[in-house]
Chains A and B, each alone.
Chain A
Amino acid sequence: MKNIKKIKIALTGGSASAEALRQINPAVAPVYPITPQTPIVEAFAKFCADGKADTEIVTVESEHSAISMAIGSQAAGARTVTATSSQGLALMNEILYIASGMRLPIIMLVSARALSAPINIHGDHSDVMGARDTSWIQLFSENSQEVYDNTIIGTKLAEKSELPIMVIMDGFTTSHSVENLEILPDKIVKKFVGNYKNEKALLNVEEPHTYGPVALPDSYFEFKIDQEKAMNEVLDNYKKVAREFKKISGRSYKLFEEYKVKGAEHIIILAGSTAGTAKVVVDKMRKKGKKVGIIKINLFRPFPYKKIAKSFSEAKNIAVMDKSISFGSVAPLYSEIVSSAYQISSQIPNTKYKIQSCVYGLGGRDIFAKQIEEVFEDMINENISKKTKYIK
């Protein structure tokens, strides 16, 4: 950490991830364009064209093909990366389960966007929430800096855990906005991620392996339990990788970020770029003596249930802000938080908080500081209901 040169640069979230990819230098990148993912691969393809990365970029005919090829190349023994958004991720859905089922640590950058219909190209979390049960690790990023860091952390985390990862940024809000960030020297990143070695590489003809055999009722169940076990181990792996990353970057990452949660009576829980706005609101309200705080989700899959429930156990009120909707149910993040509260209820009995669900920003609708302040004010005034509030 001491002697590492800090390089300051202004980049969009998309270019920041491309910068990280250039340093990681994956072997293969099968990609298909879709807004707002395009700037990621555009920037990365330019690096490859200029000879700054020697990744084999394959322009395939659909996202379904992109992820299918990613599986083939990762199984062959090559570190593989792809990127997508929205309908692209939805089209990949069928194959996402195969990638995780075969325990292939594919890296996918997702510029989160709304789903059709009606058609909308702007940012919300509908697409990634639709893929939350695919057994992919899901890592949310707040800004360009986090996108850059998460791409590097994510690569190591996926390969350590032998599970694929989605590094998520908010479409347009993060992917297209230029921000200042600090990048690491190439050598440091390359040393950090190391070389990818697939012990069961298909191209190793000396020791042939079979991928994707049939597993009937007598064994399928066990394979799925084993996969779930691997997913749960990601929590510890993430802590280890984040600790190592802190040594080279000085930036500390936790399963979730607590912003002025200590002594806070009213807490907002959210994920993604809106956390930045919410932090400004917290600072402002704290100055007025109001006890407010933020919990920002970093790792959404696997979800750190117990840790997060301990974090908000002393709160009076909690508002969970979702940038997606779950039709016929409650919003995804809200449902996780309610589960967390239940799981901890025997260990910490007398908790008294109420949990409010808020849905905001669908289809890229802007959210302003004033609206977040109102969410806090509602909690302070005990204006809490079991109905979902729509912050329009």
Chain B
Amino acid sequence: MEKGAIIKHKIKNATDTGSWRNQTPNLDKKTCIGCGTCVKYCPDACIILKEIKNAGDNKKKIAEIDTKFCKGCGVCAEVCPVKAIDMK
């Protein structure tokens, strides 16, 4: 039995808590400036910064939202300085 009920986190066995969501964040990739503010604020750590290729081989970092654990709280949309996230 695990001491103090501290259990090793197994991502495969984790409940799909994203199904609780009643609003979903939608990212406008063109508006996103890749500042990473939403990454720090997301209480479920659902957002990462990912590098994408722009036209003309320019590399750009933008947010990528994984909705598996997203509860749709809307914090990301609230903190986004360029309003690139819209809750629907």
Chain A interface residues (CB < 8 Å from chain B): 101-104, 162, 200, 207-213, 215, 219, 222-223, 226-227, 230
Contact = CB atoms under 8 A, between A and B. Distances in A.
A212 B6 CA distance: 7
Given A200-B6, A222-B1, 12 more contacts: A102-B4, A102-B5, A162-B3, A208-B9, A209-B9, A210-B6, A210-B9, A211-B4, A212-B5, A219-B5, A223-B1, A226-B1
B1 to A, nearest CB: 6
Nearest to A215: B5
A210 B7 contact: yes
A207 B3 CA distance: 16
Contacts of A210: 6-9
A103 B7 contact: no
Contacts of B5: 101-102, 212-213, 215, 219, 223
Nearest to A220: B5
A106 to B, nearest CB: 13
Nearest to B4: A103
A211 B9 CA distance: 10
B41 to A, nearest CB: 18
A212 B1 CA distance: 14
A89 to B, nearest CB: 22
| Main DSSP-derived SS at the A contact region | loop
Contacts of A227: 4
Contacts of B8: 200, 207-210
Interface of B: 1, 3-9
Contacts of B6: 102-103, 200, 209-211
B55 to A, nearest CB: 35
B3 A103 contact: yes
A211 B5 CA distance: 7
Max chain A Cβ within 10 angstroms of own Cβ: one of B1, B5, B7: B5
A290 to B, nearest CB: 50
Closest 4 CB pairs of A and B: A103-B4, A208-B9, A102-B4, A210-B7
Contact of B3 (A208, A213, A215, A226): A226
Nearest to A230: B3
Max chain A Cβ within 10 angstroms of own Cβ: one of B4, B7, B9: B4
A298 B3 CA distance: 27
B7 A209 contact: yes
A102 B4 CA distance: 4
Contacts of A103: 3-4, 6
A104 B6 CA distance: 11
Contacts of B1: 222-223, 226
A213 B9 contact: no
A2 B64 CA distance: 64
A210 B8 CA distance: 6
A137 to B, nearest CB: 15
B46 to A, nearest CB: 15
B17 to A, nearest CB: 13
A211 B4 CA distance: 8
A230 B3 CA distance: 9
Contacts of A211: 4, 6
A208 B3 CA distance: 15
B82 to A, nearest CB: 29
A329 to B, nearest CB: 30
Nearest to A98: B4
A164 to B, nearest CB: 11
Contacts of A209: 6-9
Contacts of A102: 4-6
Nearest to B8: A209
14 contacts: A102-B4, A103-B4, A104-B4, A200-B8, A208-B8, A208-B9, A209-B6, A209-B7, A210-B6, A210-B7, A210-B8, A211-B6, A223-B5, A226-B3
